[in-house]
Amino acid sequence: MGRASTQALQSGPRARTMKERRTMTDRSAVGAPFVDLPAGRMRGGTEGGVAVFKGVPYAAPPVGELRWRPAQPHAGWTGVREAVEFGPSAPQPFIEGGDPVLGGHGFPPFDDDCLTLNVWTPAADDARRPVMVWIHGGGFVSGSGSLPYYSGETFARDGDIVVVTLNYRLGPLGYLYLGPGHGEPEPGNFWLTDQLAALRWVHENIAHFGGDPDNVTVAGQSGGALSTAALAGHPAAQGLVHRIILQSPPFGLALPDPAGCAERTDMFLKAVGVSDVEALRQVPWQRLVGATMALFGPCARWGYWPTPFLPVIDGITLSRHPVETLLCDGAADMDVMIGWTRDEANFHFALPGAGYESATRRQVLDRIADTFGDGAPEVYAAYERTRPGSRPVDVLMDLVSDELFRVPALQLAEGRAEMGRPVWAYQFDFATPAHQGRLGAAHCLELPFVFGNFDNWSGAPFLEGVESGVRQGLARSMHQAWISFVRDGRPDHPGLPQWPPYEAGSRSTMRFDSVVSAMDDLAGHSRLLHLGASR
C-alpha cells in the first residue's frame, strides 16, 4: 500500500458535520421521495430516474463502550431525517494520490460512526421488487459501500430491482480478535455482526422501499464474497438470504482460530502502545489505522496475498470456514453464482514496485513447495507449459491465482455439482491494456462491467486504453446476467449464449471476454493440477 495521508486520517475533508447532515433541509427537494419506517420518517433524493436514500443507519454507532461489541439496534430519530448524502466510510488507510490499479479503495470522510447503508429503488411503493444487497471487498481493511463504483443506480433502473450497499467495520475495528486471552469476554468478527444487522434491517424495512424481503440476493466481491458466504450459511441469517453471487471469493485463505490470532493481536496492541482492551477503547481511530499500516510489513509473507487482519473461526459468531457452509445446512439449496478473473493475483504482484518482477525460479519453486512439497518442479513445469515464454513471476501469479481464488471456487462448484445443487460458474478473461498489459484480467477488473457504470470509474487506472465498443458490449452481457440472476436465480438472458449450470459431466463455465461463450471445463488445467485427475 502507498503512503497514508496523515491529514486524511485525522479528519478528512468533511463538508458538513454529522449533525448538520442529518438535520439539513433540502429546500429544492420538491417531490423528493419519502419513506415512513419504524425508526422514523426519511426523505431521499433522485438520481438517474431512480429514488435513492443515503446514509441510512442500520445499527447504533459502534463508539465508546460499543467499540468491539456486536452491532446493537439503532434508537431511531424524531422529525424527518434527510437521506441525501452518504454516511462516512469506516476508518481505513487512505492512499494519497490513489493506487495504480483501482485509483482508490475508500475516500474521506472516515468515522467510526459508520454503520449506514444506501438504497436505490425505482420507486418507494409496494411493488415487492427483487432485492440485491452488495457487500464491498477491500482485503478486510478498506473499501466502502458509498463508493461511486458501487452505485446501485444502474441495477435499479435497468433491472427494476432494489439495491442496498452498506458500510461495515473494517481493519482492527471489525476484525481484531480480543477474546478471553486479552481480557475481553465478547466473541470476534464484529464485521459479521454488522452485516447480520444490515440483513435484518433489510428484512424488516425493504418493503417500504418497494422491495421484497422474501427475494433477497446477497452479492459480494473478494472479501465481500467471503462475507456473502459467511452470511448465507449463518444460523442467524436463515430466511434473510435467498441466493448469492460470489465474485472472486478468497476461499483459499486459511482462517485462524482464537489461538492463531493471539500473536497478531499482541503485535497490534504493541503498535498502538496500550496493553489492555479498556485502554484501547479510548484510542482515537486515527491511531488504530496508523497501527494497521505498521502491521503490513510484519504480517507479509513472500508470494502470499497481503492482509494484516482476517476473520476468525471463534466457534460463536463463525463456527467453520464460510465456504464449507455452502455445502450443507440451509445454504445448500440456495442458487449460487461464482466466478473469478483469469489473472487474479496480477492485482498485487504484476506491477513494478510490488517486489516480484525480479523473482527467481528458486524462489518460486520454494513457494510452490509450500503446497506441493517435493512435487514442486513438476508443478512449475506444468505452469510453464500453459504460458509459453513465462517468467518465474508469471508462474507465481498463476499459482497464487489458483490457490487463493480459482481452485477453491472450483472445489465448491464440484462439491455442489456432486450434490445436485445449483451453481453457475464464470471466468472473466478480458485483459486490460493498462500498464502495458501487465495486469491482464486482474482481480477487480470485472466490477465496472458488472455494474455497467463506467463513468463512475473514470479515475480507475486499470481501465485506461479499453476500447469503448468492446467495453460496452461485454458490460451489457455481464450486467444483464447479474440482473437476471437477482430476479429469478438464473443468469441466462436473450443477449447471452446459453449458460448451463456447472455439472459434473460438462463443468460448463461462462467465459467473459470480447467474445462471450460457454465452455466445458474452462479451468481444467488448474482443476487437474490441484484437485487431481479423479475429479
- State the residue for C-alpha cell 462471450: 516
CA neighbor of 380 nearest in space, from 367, 395, 358: 395
Catalytic center residues: 222, 344, 443
**Alpha helices (H) in 328-460, listed in sequence order:** 346-349, 361-372, 376-386, 392-400, 407-419, 447-451
220 in Cβ contact with 228 (< 8 Å): yes
Quote the CA–CA distance of 86 and 402 in Å, as a whole number.
37
Half-sphere exposure of 69 (CA within 13 A, CB side): 14
Residue type, 48: G
CA neighbor of 264 nearest in space, from 287, 290, 286, 297: 297
DSSP for 10-76, please give it. Answer: HT---SS-HHHHHH---TT-TT--EEEETTEEEE-EEETTEEEEEEEE-S----GGGTTS-------
Contacts of 238 (CB under 8 A, 6+ apart): 330
CB atoms within 10 A of CB 513: 16
Q: What sign does the CA torsion over 357, 358, 361, 362 have? A: negative
DSSP for 398-434, please give it. Answer: HHHIIIIIIHHHHHHHHHHHHHT--EEEEEE-PPB-G
Q: What sign does the CA torsion over 187, 86, 76, 217 have? A: negative
521 in Cβ contact with 515 (< 8 Å): no
User: Could you give the 3-state DSSP secondary structure of residue 217?
Assistant: strand
Contacts of 36 (CB under 8 A, 6+ apart): 42, 208
Quote the CA–CA distance of 476 and 466 in Å, as a whole number.
15
CA neighbor of 395 nearest in space, from 411, 371, 426: 371
Query: Please, what's the b/e burial string for 273-282 (b: 16 or more CB within 10 A of its CB; e: otherwise)?
Result: ebeebeebbe
**Alpha helices (H) in 182-253, listed in sequence order:** 190-205, 223-232
109 in Cβ contact with 12 (< 8 Å): yes
Query: Please, what's the b/e burial string for 401-410 (b: 16 or more CB within 10 A of its CB; e: otherwise)?
Result: bbbbbbbbbb
